């Protein structure tokens, strides 16, 4: 039966595939299996973004202090700047811009979506 008219059935399969692809929200096929853990993963990632910017800020402040001999002041200044950068990272992450730098609009929805996908596949 199937052998008698393979072109037809293949074409129908193609049409069905095409329809299924259109129904599927773009790019949502991967990375959804961790939905249950995503809240925890999200919280973990917020902490990571905050801390990593803070570490960079403190390191810069400490090294500039040692270099310029202005003991505590630059460390304090860069501690504050680092916290601000950490909050900026978190803000970008939650607004779907991922680790992007710059305030402008992302170059397209595709990228924003890929970023949110990268966000919610993160865990532990």
Partner 1 sequence: MAAAGTDSPLEQFKIEPLIPIHLGKLDLSFTNSSLVMVVALVLITSLLLVGARPRALVPGRLQSVAELAYEFVANLLSDTIGEEGKRYFPIVFTIFMFVLFGNLIGLVPFSFTFTSHIIVTFALAFSVFIGVTILALARHGLHFARFFVPPGVSPALWPLLIPIEIISYLSRPISLSVRLFANMLAGHTLLKVFAGFVFLLGFAGFFPLAFVVALSGLEFLIAFLQAYVFAILTCLYINDALHLH
> Contact residues for partner 1 (CB under 8 A)?
27, 31, 33-34, 45, 48-49, 52-53, 55-57, 60, 78, 81-82, 84-86, 88-89, 92, 98-107, 110-111, 114-115, 117-118, 121-124
10-45 burial, b at 16+ Cβ within 10 Å, e below that, comes to eeeeeeeeeeeeeeeeeeeeebeeeeeebeebbeeb
State which residue, 65 or 82, has the beta carbon closest to partner 1: 82
State which residue, 72 or 109, has the beta carbon closest to partner 1: 109
d(CA 112, CA 26): 12
CA distances from 13 to 16, 20, 96 (A): 5, 10, 36
CB of 74 vs partner 1, minimal distance in Å: 11
CB of 107 vs partner 1, minimal distance in Å: 5
State which residue, 49 or 65, has the beta carbon closest to partner 1: 49
CA distances from 57 to 28, 76, 92, 100, 117 (A): 36, 9, 18, 18, 28
CB of 71 vs partner 1, minimal distance in Å: 20
State which residue, 23 or 105, has the beta carbon closest to partner 1: 105
């Amino acid at each position: 039966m199937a052998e008698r008219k393979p072109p037809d059935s293949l074409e129908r399969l193609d049409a069905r595939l095409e329809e299924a692809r259109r129904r599927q929200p773009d790019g949502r096929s991967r990375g959804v299996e961790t939905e249950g853990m995503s809240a925890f993963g999200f919280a973990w990632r917020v902490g990571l973004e905050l801390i990593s910017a803070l570490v960079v800020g403190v390191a810069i402040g400490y090294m500039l202090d040692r270099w310029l001999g202005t003991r505590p002041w630059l460390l304090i200044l860069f501690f504050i700047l680092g916290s601000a950068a950490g909050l900026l990272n978190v803000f970008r992450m939650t607004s779907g811009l991922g680790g992007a730098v710059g305030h402008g609009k992302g170059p397209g929805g595709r990228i924003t979506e890929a970023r949110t996908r990268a966000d919610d596949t993160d865990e532990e």
